Structure 1
Amino acid sequence: MPEPLRDRLERRPVLASRRAFEGRVWDVRSDRVDLGEAGVVTRDYVEHTGAVAVLALDEQDRVVVIRQYRHPVGAFAWEIPAGLLDVDGEPAHVTAARELYEEADLRAGRWATLVDHWSSPGGSSESLRIFLARDLEQVPDGERHERTGEELGMPQRRVPLEELVAGVLEGRLHSPTLVIAVLAAETMRRGGWSGLRPAEAPWPERSPGRAPRDAGQPPPPA
C-alpha cells in the first residue's frame, strides 16, 4: 500500500529577496528562486504572519458565527472567530482562545486541532490553523472585551452545523476558513470525532512570520 499523501516542506534556494511593499498587517516580497532544471524565476507573494480560527460548537451542535465587512470583496461575510498570529512567542491555541474571548465573548473548556490549511499558497505565505472549541461558557458582562473599530457591533449567531454545510454547498457562504471548518467538522462529527489532534499538536507548516522592519524605517501610515 502506498504511503498517505503528505505535503513536503522543502524550500528552494532564494538567490535574492526584497520587500516590494510594506503594509500595516502584511508585506509583499519579491524573491528570485532557483527551481533547478526549471530555471530561475521571480515570485511575488504576500509575506504573512499566519493566523488561527475557532469553530466553536455548543451542546446543540450549533456553530458560533460572526459577520464582518471585508472590503476587498465588498461584502459582509459570515465567518468564524479568527485572528493573526502577531504576538511573538504566543502558542497558537492561546491566540485562538484570546480571539474567541475578544470576538465572541466566549471561553471553552475543551480544545482540539480541527484542520490546517494554506490560505493561498500560490500568492501568500499564510498558514492557518482552525481549532475546535467545545464546552462553551459565556463571559460575564463585566469581563467582556471592549470591541472597537470594524469589530464594533458585529452580529453574532449560533447556527446548526448542518445548516452551515448546506449554505456552503449551495453557494451562499464564501469565507474560505468557514467553508473548510464546517466541512471538516461535519466529517469529524460523522466519525464520532475520532482522529482529532490535540490543541498543542505540532505545526511545522506554521507561517514563519514577517521579516523585521528595516532599521530606521518608519511604520506604514494607518
Structure 2
Amino acid sequence: MELQDTPEEWQVVATTTPFQGNKTSVRTDDVVMPDGTVARRDYQVHPGSVAVLAVDDEDRVLVLRQYRHPVRHKLWEIPAGLLDVPGENPLHAAQRELYEEAHVKAEDWRVLTDVYTTPGGCDEAIRIFLARGLSEAVGERFEVSEEESDMELARVPLTELVRGVLAGELHNNCLVVGVLSLTVARAADGVDALRQADAPWPARPFAA
C-alpha cells in the first residue's frame, strides 16, 4: 500500500452555488456514492492560501496577533493570505504577504508543508513556506485596514510556540502545522532536505 493521497473525483449529477461571496462561495453538489445512491454535499469553494513560518537568526518565529470574528478570538498566527489571482505563483504570494503584514523580506525559502484545512467542508489548500535570512524590507509600509489595523507583531522562540501548541493555548491552523512541521523536519533529515520553494503543487497549479 502506497501511503500517499491520490486524486479522485466521483460523479456529480447536479450542482448549484447558493451563496457567492467576495472571495469564497458555497457550492452544493449531488454526488454519486459507491453504492449508487446520490448524496448532497455542501462545501465552501476557496481560492487557496499561503502562509510563512519566518524564522530569524535567534530561532524566533515572526507571529501576528489578530482578531478572528468567526471564532471570537484574537489568535496568534503566522503571516498568511489568499491566492488572489488564479494560477498565481505561491512563492510570490508568500513574499507579498510577509512584506505586507510584517515589512520583512527573506533570503532563503523552502516549502515546509501543504495541507487541506478542512476537507470535509471546504476545498481550501494552503502551502506553508519556511523563510530564513530575514531582514527589514525597503519601501513604504503596506497600509492596513479593518482587523489588520489592530494587529500586533512579535518574535517568539520556536520552542515557546511548540509548548503553547501542545498546551492547547495556540490554535491557528497554519501556526500549529508550521511550528510542528519545522520541529519534525529538524529532527529528521534537516531543513535542507525540504522541497524547493518552486516545488509543484497539484492542489493549486501555478506558472513558474
Deviations 1:128-167 (A, max 9, x none): 1000011011124x42212222211411110111110000
% identical aligned pairs: 51
Residues 102-121 of structure 1 correspond to what in structure 2 (within 5 A)? 102-121=100-119
Given that 1:117 and 1:129 are in contact with CA atoms closer than 8 Å, whether structure 2 keeps it comes out as yes
SS across alignment from 1:7:
coil
- For structure 1, the 5+ residue unaligned runs are 209-222
State the one-letter code of the partner of 2:160. Answer: E
TM normalised by structure 2 equals: 0.94
Distance in 2, Cα, partners of 1:153 & 1:70: 11
State the one-letter code of the partner of 2:169. Answer: R
State the one-letter code of the partner of 1:116. Answer: D
Picking from 162, 172, 192, the partner of 1:175 is 172
Does residue 1:149 correspond to 2:146, yes or no?
A: yes
- CA drift of 1:20 comes to 1.2
Q: Which residue of 1 aligns with 2:66?
A: 68
TM normalised by structure 1 equals: 0.88
Instruction: Flag the 1:175–1:38 CA change in 2: closer, same or farther, 3 A.
Output: farther
TM-align CA RMSD: 1.6
**Structure 1 residue runs of 4+, over 3 Å off?**
none
Q: Which residue of 1 aligns with 2:158?
A: 161
Q: Which residue of 2 aligns with 1:10?
A: 8
SS across alignment from 2:161:
helix
Residues 58-97 of structure 1 correspond to what in structure 2 (within 5 A)? 58-97=56-95
Deviations 1:41-64 (A, max 9, x none): 110000111101000010111100
Distance in 2, Cα, partners of 1:195 & 1:42: 42
